[in-house]
């Protein structure tokens, strides 16, 4: 079966290179009985991959038994997996078969394998090695012919290092490793998946097919999708049921996205959870904090750069002529060359090292406003606004121009409304 046929049959949507690699790996391992470990974040579709492996394998006529190891209480997981004899524990009123007996001649899918307790790990290792196991409360050795496909959203290698998962079991499970990347790493798959869900829910709820505005598509592509395909499905269902009409605007979608507030933009950062175990944060969580701090700093620098560019827009730099024509010659007083915007990049390094002027059109200055470091007449004391004063002036002028409309003001300044609110609050505190 080719790649396109597998995607069509099992509803695996997407054209990204990462997803194609997953499909190709499914095709390679399905025809064998080799043990497979599927890794990926919650909601990426690990169970869908397991079903595809089983359905195109020689065992497709046998049962596919799905077990969520994280949903079974620790005291019952061994009896659920391997069965129990009558009287083996309180409440065991009769002999019962376990999932491994039910999956004989088929496939057993052990989801959330990282949640399995150590005692059950020992039994599972034995089944993987020779297919033998015993029911709880029995010494009779039973045999099963089953293929094991496991899945986890944890890094099992780190779980092994931490002593929470057996090393020998990890190597036995990960004979073939299939990693499903999250949606944020394959953005080209987001809109096709969403369109498929929208079409499905429009038919299910007998509603018109929704049409996404270009700005809405940009918002969805920039969102991080922490819940991956599962979250995308929920958002598609909410769009179908809760948004009236056919047009879908960014304002209507934002309330459905975790981490993007109604007043924020798609570039806003995901909140970092602070739970009770914050003091025992892992290395990964520390990296997330550092990454968030760097992103916040980057946003601030970008906004400051945009404001400075707006402040000096239309100006020109006056550089001593000798510095441009004869860089090693002695300066000649009063001889300057005006560098417009197109020339600035060529002389960027030069301008940093020589006195300069900013040419303007202020009355009384003969078309020249002196900047720091340039020769000044004794009676001229030009005032250069600080960045804070310039920022205050820009915001005040923009608010006045748009009659106090903060949304239009933020758009004109090239910043988000959230940043504008913060700036206004800081200005109020300074006054």
382 within 8 A of 369, measured Cβ to Cβ: yes
CA distances from 55 to 15, 25, 32, 90, 386 (A): 22, 15, 12, 38, 69
User: Is residue 364 predicted with pLDDT exceeding 50?
Assistant: no
Within 13 Å, how many C-alpha atoms sit on residue 365's CB side? 17
Residues 264-277 as b or e (16 or more Cβ within 10 Å = b): bbbebeeeeeeeee
- pLDDT of 421 reads 78
Domain ranges, ordered by start, for the chain: 3-181, 184-256, 316-370, 387-430
- Residue 192 CB contacts under 8 Å (≥ 6 apart), including other chains: 13, 14, 15
Tell me the CATH number for domain 387-430: 1.10.10
pLDDT band for position 412 (cuts 50, 70, 90): confident
| Cross-strand pairs, 176 | 36
- Per the CB < 8 A criterion, the answer to whether 383 and 299 are in contact is no
Q: What are phi and psi of 65, to 5 degrees?
A: -100, 120
Beta-carbon contacts of 147 under 8 Å, excluding residues fewer than 6 positions away, are 33, 35, 54, 57, 59, 106, 107, 108
Tell me the pLDDT tens digit for each residue of 158-170: 999 999 999 999 9
pLDDT digits (tens, 9 = 90+) for 248-300: 999 999 999 975 433 334 344 444 444 444 344 455 555 655 755 666 666 66
Instruction: Give the pLDDT of residue 141.
Output: 92
Query: What is d(CA 22, CA 352) in angstroms, rounded to the nearest whole number?
Result: 53
Please state which architecture CATH assigns to domain 184-256: Orthogonal Bundle (1.10)
Q: How many CB atoms lie within 10 A of CB 8?
A: 12
For 333-351, write each residue's pLDDT tens digit.
445 455 444 444 444 444 4
Classified as helix, coil or strand, 268 is: coil
User: pLDDT tens digits, residue range 54-112?
Assistant: 999 999 999 999 999 999 988 889 999 999 888 777 667 788 889 999 999 999 999 99
CATH level 3 topology of 3-181: Rossmann fold (3.40.50)
């Amino acid at each position: 079966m080719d790649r396109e046929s597998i995607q069509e049959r099992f509803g695996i949507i997407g054209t990204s290179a990462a997803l194609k690699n997953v499909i190709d790996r499914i095709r390679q391992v399905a025809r064998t009985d080799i043990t497979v470990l599927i890794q990926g974040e919650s909601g990426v579709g690990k169970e869908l991959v397991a079903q595809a492996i089983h359905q195109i394998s020689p065992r497709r006529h046998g049962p596919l038994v799905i077990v969520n190891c994280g949903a079974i209480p620790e005291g019952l997981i061994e009896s659920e997996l391997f069965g129990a004899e009558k009287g083996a524990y309180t409440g065991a009123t009769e002999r019962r078969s376990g999932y491994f007996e039910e999956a004989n001649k088929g496939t057993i899918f052990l989801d959330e394998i990282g949640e399995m307790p150590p005692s059950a790990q020992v039994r599972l290792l034995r089944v993987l090695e020779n297919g033998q196991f015993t029911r709880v409360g029995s010494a009779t050795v039973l045999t099963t012919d089953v293929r094991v496909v496991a899945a986890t959203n944890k890094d099992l290698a780190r779980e092994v290092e931490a002593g929470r998962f057996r090393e020998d079991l990890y190597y036995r499970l990960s004979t073939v490793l299939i990693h499903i990347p999250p949606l944020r790493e394959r953005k080209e798959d987001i809109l096709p998946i969403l369109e498929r869900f929208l079409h499905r829910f429009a038919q299910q709820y007998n509603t018109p097919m929704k049409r996404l505005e270009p700005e809405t598509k940009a918002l969805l592509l920039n969102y991080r999708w922490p819940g991956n395909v599962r979250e995308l499905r929920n958002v598609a269902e909410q769009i179908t049921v809760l948004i009236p009409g056919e047009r879908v605007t960014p304002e209507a979608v934002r309330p459905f996205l975790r981490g993007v507030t109604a007043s924020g933009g798609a570039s806003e950062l995901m909140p970092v959870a602070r739970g009770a175990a914050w003091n025992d944060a892992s290395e990964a969580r520390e990296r997330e904090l550092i990454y968030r701090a760097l992103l916040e700093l980057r946003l601030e620098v970008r906004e400051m750069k945009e404001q400075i560019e707006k402040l000096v827009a239309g100006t020109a730099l006056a550089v001593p002529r000798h510095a441009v024509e004869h860089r090693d010659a002695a300066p000649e007083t009063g001889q300057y060359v005006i560098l417009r915007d197109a020339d600035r990049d060529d002389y960027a390094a030069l301008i940093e090292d020589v006195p300069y002027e900013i040419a303007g059109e202020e009355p009384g200055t003969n078309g020249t406003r002196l900047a720091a470091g340039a020769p000044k007449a004794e009676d001229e004391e030009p005032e250069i606004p600080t960045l804070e004063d310039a920022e205050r002036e820009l915001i005040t002028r923009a608010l006045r121009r748009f009659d106090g409309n903060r949304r239009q003001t933020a758009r004109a300044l090239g910043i988000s409304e959230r940043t504008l609110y913060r700036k206004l609050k800081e200005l109020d505190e300074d006054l």
